[in-house]
Structure 1
Amino acid sequence: MSELQKSFAKSKLAKLPSDVPMSDVMYAHHQGHDDDSSSTSSLSSTGTLIPSPTRHLFARTKHTQPSKSCPWTDFFEQELFLPQESDNLHILHHVYLTSPKDSGPLFVMHHGAGSSGLSFATCADEIRKILPKAGILSIDARGHGRTTTTTTKTEQETPSTATAAQIEANDQVQLDLTLGTLSKDVVHVIRQTQERMKWDKLPDILLVGHSLGGAVITNVAKNGELGPKLLAYAVLDVVEGSAMDALQSMEKYLSSRPTRFPSLEAGIEWHTRSRTIRNTNSARASVPSLIYEEPSPIDPSRPWVWRTNLSETKPFWENWFIGLSKKFLEARGGKLLLLAGTDRLDKELMIGQMQGKYQLQVFPEAGHFVQEDQPTKTAQVLADFYKRNDRSALVLPPKVADMQAAAAMKKGAGAPGMLGQLK
């Protein structure tokens, strides 16, 4: 800093209230010049500067335990454990549910690889603020979250908590994570939820999928197994071209991230500091479902490990995304593609966009987890998307045959009156 700059700074500081700490002033300057993409900036952004009610114009907001987790009950009404017997396996599907009210729609959410149903927690909460009658069904896929797969039914498979024993049992089973299997799981879960909740009929459904989940829900839409109950589907930040390109560097990414954490809070903090998740509230909601504490840790100083071993899913990576763009454009129903950048569009989708085959929304300020980074904006886009595809809101003109029949009835009803007048 030059002498002239120092002199200017001193003259400005002299005009400030005497009770403003120098550290806060320097913090304000630091905030204004940091690169948002750095982990340092991500960390410092948790201490936003706001005017205080007194003369402390630059008082820093007080945060109590910024990395403390948020329970799922803050975002959903209940959780369900839905059993399924398949190929000598017992699968206990775990979902988070807020039931629709009256004739409200049901948003069915499917997360990406390595994530969980709580990836949509904050977004689901925002959707309900805009559409109070809407329901949310957020799924934990096989090998993710609290969904477990075992070869035999055990006492641990009770609808209470996902224990370490359940997770270890999950690891001992060769999971089938092919696109076809995951798609069938979605339909099974929807039907089982209807049965468990005793719904006379399925509500109108909007499928929403992030990353891998986008490929799954697109496949469900293309197969048409939900029939006319599927109004539309939305894919979040995944297209075939960029997904296939990203797979080339996936292993390098997985080898660079931590394999263990000293605490749950440390896991949450890593996600925000690395800007994997750019919204602290979203990280506090979703990260607790991504890691768990080992009962007998190899490293006692870092007992928290990932629930899902993403490296073991490598055999399925290409199967998830091959043909995605074509299926997305061909499946019936309204289509929405929400991306974090237009550079992710491949040729097929660019042509489809120019032909008006789907709605495109871009959030350049978000990272890959768009629904977590920007839950309010994502919820608004999804709510508007539903309203545009809501059949109950359509007022169709009467059919020509109905109009002719009504005219004939009116004419016939008027004839006796005219005869009476003549008499």
Structure 2
Amino acid sequence: MASLPEDDLPPLQPQSPSSAFDSVPHRPATTSSSEKYAPLDWSTYFDKEDDVAIPQTNDVFHVYMAGTEGPVVFCLHGGGYSGLSFAVSASRIKEKARVVAMDLRGHGKSLTDNDFDLSIETMCNDALAVIKELYGDSPPAIILVGHSMGGSIAVHVAAKKTLSNLAGLVVVDVVEGTAIASLMHMQKILSSRMQHFSSIEKAIEWTVRGGTLRNIDSARVSVPATLKYDDSKNCYVYRTELDKSEQYWKGWYEGLSDLFLSSPVPKLLLLAGTDRLDRSLTIGQMQGKFQMIVVRHTGHAIQEDVPDEFATLITNFISRNRIGPHGVEIPGLRKPAFSKP
């Protein structure tokens, strides 16, 4: 729980995609753009993509998947990002576990009846609905991993205690105190970003050169999904209009520290700086209620800036807590982390 997802949004956060199932809008890139910033396809890192339709609704959520064995690392991205924010790290994590990264409503290739409803309750229900559609009533062991806004969703999903096999919770760079304190600056931050790009390559270049993302390969695969082509303006714009979600910002972070601390599963908090830790978490960390790691030389998007290190931290968390494909493994015994009441 650290700086706001939105505060640091990668330069790309579009509105609603021209097509829910196009990762890169079908428009020719300008030939002047350097190959250094050319888009990379998701299939370089994930094994497959799929669309998950939610029964009795018109909502369709796009997911990317990697790996075939082990527990499921279920990834929730930050505001303005997409599931591809975890692409490069997923290609490493899949050696030890399965990875599922979903595009939240209003982001990436997902399409819903209301892409602007980014309330914490709605997004929690979306995540639970996708997990249910993928695994039914008997899911494998699941480790929720959430970055920034996605970290808030992960914490709230864990707090509901409805996932029968929740085995771990990993929150990436979002802390209640820091996030709420940053809200007053959000609109200014969003409006100060470059709003239009002549090509996807230019958007990737702007993101990397501006320091929003520090890993070129990750930016090349994740940035395109945060854009859409605007025919009226003849340019690329953000897929997600975060400035229109202001009414929900406070709800994402209020009470987050206490909810995180109260979750009965193993917990890991990854931060880009110690200044992000608030009082409640400082006390909780001293009491040994969760594991905390400060990842040096990285920006807000830890999973993108240092994907190899991030993947190692996730797989070490799984090993340290002996999380197997069906739940927590105890020598000579296997049992789920949670049992249904």
Q: Residue 210 in 1 paired to residue 144 in 2? A: no
Whether the aligned pair in 1 keeps the contact of 2:54 and 2:133 (CA below 8 Å) is no
Distance 1:73 1:239 in 2: 33
Distance 1:249 1:262 in 2: 28
SS at match of 1:90: coil
Over 3 Å off, 4+ runs: none
Q: Residue 311 in 1 paired to residue 243 in 2? A: yes
- Corresponding residue for 1:136? 99
Letter in 2 for 1:180: E
Q: Residue 105 in 1 paired to residue 71 in 2? A: yes
Letter in 2 for 1:183: C
Distance 1:99 1:380 in 2: 15
Q: Any unmatched runs of 5+ in structure 2?
A: 1-33, 334-341
- Aligned-pair Cα RMSD in Å: 1.6
Query: 1:22-421 maps to which residues of 2 (within 5 A)?
Result: 65-84=35-54, 90-101=58-69, 104-129=70-95, 131=96, 134-150=97-113, 173=114, 175-194=116-135, 201-227=138-164, 229-294=165-230, 296-298=231-233, 300=234, 303-392=235-324, 393-395=329-331
Whether the aligned pair in 1 keeps the contact of 2:141 and 2:323 (CA below 8 Å) is no
Aligned-pair distance for 1:394? 2.5
Give the TM-score normalised by structure 2: 0.83
Letter in 1 for 2:283: I
Distance 2:54 2:223 in 1: 27
Distance 1:265 1:140 in 2: 22
SS at match of 2:297: coil
Whether the aligned pair in 1 keeps the contact of 2:54 and 2:130 (CA below 8 Å) is no
SS at match of 2:36: coil
Distance 1:384 1:391 in 2: 10
Distance 1:175 1:69 in 2: 27
Distance 1:276 1:382 in 2: 22
Q: From the two aligned structures, give the one with the greater helix fraction.
A: 1
Whether the aligned pair in 2 keeps the contact of 1:236 and 1:337 (CA below 8 Å) is yes
How much identity, in percent, do the aligned residues show? 40
Sort the Cα spacing of 1:262 and 1:340 in 2 relative to 1 into closer, same or farther, 3 A. Answer: same
Whether the aligned pair in 2 keeps the contact of 1:244 and 1:318 (CA below 8 Å) is yes
Sort the Cα spacing of 1:236 and 1:174 in 2 relative to 1 into closer, same or farther, 3 A. Answer: closer
Structure number with the bigger relative contact order (C-alpha 8 A, sep ≥ 6) is 2
Distance 1:75 1:174 in 2: 27
Distance 2:47 2:278 in 1: 39
- Corresponding residue for 1:403? none
Distance 1:278 1:106 in 2: 27
Letter in 1 for 2:178: S
Distance 1:110 1:314 in 2: 20
Give the TM-score normalised by structure 1: 0.68
Summarize deviations over 1:197-222 as a string: whole Å, max 9, x none: xxx94221110000000000111111
SS at match of 2:43: helix
Aligned-pair distance for 1:396? 5.5
Larger Rg belongs to: 1
Distance 1:99 1:75 in 2: 10
Aligned-pair distance for 1:375? 0.5
Distance 1:216 1:268 in 2: 27
Distance 1:94 1:279 in 2: 24
